Amino acid sequence: MRAKYVLSEVAVGLWRNVTMTIAMIITMAVSLALLGASVLMFWTVADMREYYYAEVEVAIFLTDEVTDDQRQSLKAALAQDPLVKSQIHETKDEAYARFREQFKDAPDLVEATQPKSLPESYRVKLNSPERFDDIRQKYQAYGGVEEIVDQRAVLQKLFDILGSLQGLSLVIALIQGLAALMLVANTIQVAAYSKRREVAIMRLVGASNWFIQAPFVFEAVFAGLIGALLAFLTLVATKYFLLDSEALRPLFEGVLTPLRWVQIFWMLPLLAAVAALISAITGWITLRFYIKV
Amino acid sequence: MIRLEHVTKVYPKAARPSLNDVSVDIEKGDFVFFIGPSGAGKSTIIKLLLREVAPTKGRVYLNGRDVGSLHRWRIPQFRRSIGCVFQDFRLLPNRTAAENVAFALEVIGKSQTVARRVVPEVLELVGLGGKEHRYPHELSGGEQQRVAVARAFVNRPLVLIADEPTGNLDPDTSIEIMRLLDRINRTGTTVVMVTHDSNIVNQMRRRVIEIDQGRMVRDQQRGVYG
């Protein structure tokens, strides 16, 4: 009986105030979707750090006029250097082949690039990537060296961009979340007001606080869960229609580590828990102010 | 059953206490009128008994319990031992007489089986047999107050509090309601009634406690409004 009573009260309450309920659900969904996106970006950056830092190299580009002697002395020095883990020599032809492979989706770019315009290089892996400056100082002066590039610095820029995107979406999620909380508080006040007669009588005849407040709190929690479900579907759609789409996938491939479905699916319980908990707490606090014992 | 010991109640920002050092003893099964002009402090006594407010000084006992020191979460349970009737009936307009009474049972967790058995009984007791399925707007004032009495009595409370229950009723109907309260009193329920209605007080010849400006000025067995 009790469960039936509470459920029917929840349904009636949500329906009576349906425009407010929809506003609450939409705001909540937007906030939660951004929160989910933020968490996913955080995971992606973590994944990428792990993946790229294992792969990352220092590139020592050679000038076009480099001599064989210069190549040999550089190679020997690198081979003996305790900072160097491994080294690969990449000729102009190899560099061009790799370039073509990397940009096979942009034939215009490949077309416009002369095979000879890509520099020859040594690809060096370091034992400790943070000691890049030592390497640069040591080899900058060698004959035939054009430029020494730390690919980690390039990646760092990408991580910085992702990090600020993540921060931005988190900030918007929080602001939207605040708006959602106010809507929850307002919805509950309206619901409590429209049921003030019932509430007054319940108090009078000694209904427990739980019994009086539960329908209102469940209303908020129910709306929160719907919001979480919508947010989850938004994330699924984003992956399916944007990140994985034929048009956009090549843009991200090779740059971003792909977002795995399992990571997306984790968002459902996570967002649902956040939504339910926050709605319940907000509802409960609102009622403490609104319905006195 | 009910005992007020030197009870003083001062509301914040009030110039004078609503109740000032009032001591009253009411036995189980008593029928007591509280009378006095508006603003004398009668409603404060009801609020104290229902634990809507706590006394500023002194103690309020009901059924041996110190009402003022009740824990917040014990208050609902405590209120189940009190029935309450008001001048404005306070019925739910979208529920029938029977549903109004059943509501009081349902919200304290009684099963529908219990409600189906008890509600017709108590409606019969208050003289509304046959009108169970009428909505409040289909009932006269006196009948609505009977529904309210049925709702207050359905849990068989130890104490029935009536706050000017005849205030909105004509004299004849008022007397019928008083007969009903008298009958409930005879089942052993203590009845506390706040009223302005001198006719009723004079006819009933029950205990009268007069309050004026927060002080008890009279406590008379078999009293009159005077």
Share above pLDDT 70 across residues of chain A, in percent, rounded to a whole number = 95
Are A1 and B111 an interchain contact pair (Cβ–Cβ within 8 Å)? yes
Question: Measured between CB atoms, does A7 come within 8 Å of chain B?
Answer: no
Question: Measured between CB atoms, does B80 come within 8 Å of chain A?
Answer: yes
Start-to-end CA distance of chain B, whole Å, equals 27
Q: How many helices and strands in chain A, by DSSP H and E?
A: 11, 4
Q: Is B33 helix (H, G, I), strand (E, B) or coil?
A: strand
Are A201 and B84 an interchain contact pair (Cβ–Cβ within 8 Å)? no
Are A200 and B151 an interchain contact pair (Cβ–Cβ within 8 Å)? no
- Give the A window 183-222 contacts with B, CB below 8 Å: 197-198, 200-209, 211-212
Strand pairing partners for B24? B4
The answer on pLDDT for A185 being more than 60 is yes
Question: Measured between CB atoms, does B15 come within 8 Å of chain A?
Answer: no
What pLDDT is attached to residue B54?
Answer: 92
C-alpha of B162 from chain center: 3
- Chain segment B62-101, per-residue pLDDT in tens: 998 999 899 988 999 999 999 999 999 999 999 999 999 9
Contact B219, B34 (CB under 8 A): no
φ, ψ for residue B2, nearest 5 deg: -125, 130
- List strands edge to edge, sheet with B65-66: B19-26, B2-9, B57-62, B65-66
Tell me the shortest Cα–Cα distance from B152 to chain A, in angstroms: 8
Average pLDDT over chain B reads 93
The answer on pLDDT for A192 being more than 60 is yes
> What's the rounded Cα separation, in Å, for the pair A255 and A102?
11
CA distances from A182 to A16, A188, A215 (A): 19, 10, 18
Contact A237, A190 (CB under 8 A): no
With beta carbons under 8 A apart, name residues in chain A contacting B108: 205-208, 211
Tell me the shortest Cα–Cα distance from A243 to chain B, in angstroms: 52
Q: Among the residues of B69-125, which ranges form H helices?
A: 75-79, 97-106, 112-125
ipTM of this predicted structure: 0.89
The answer on pLDDT for B206 being more than 70 is yes
Contact A143, A70 (CB under 8 A): yes
User: Average pLDDT in the A84-99 region?
Assistant: 85
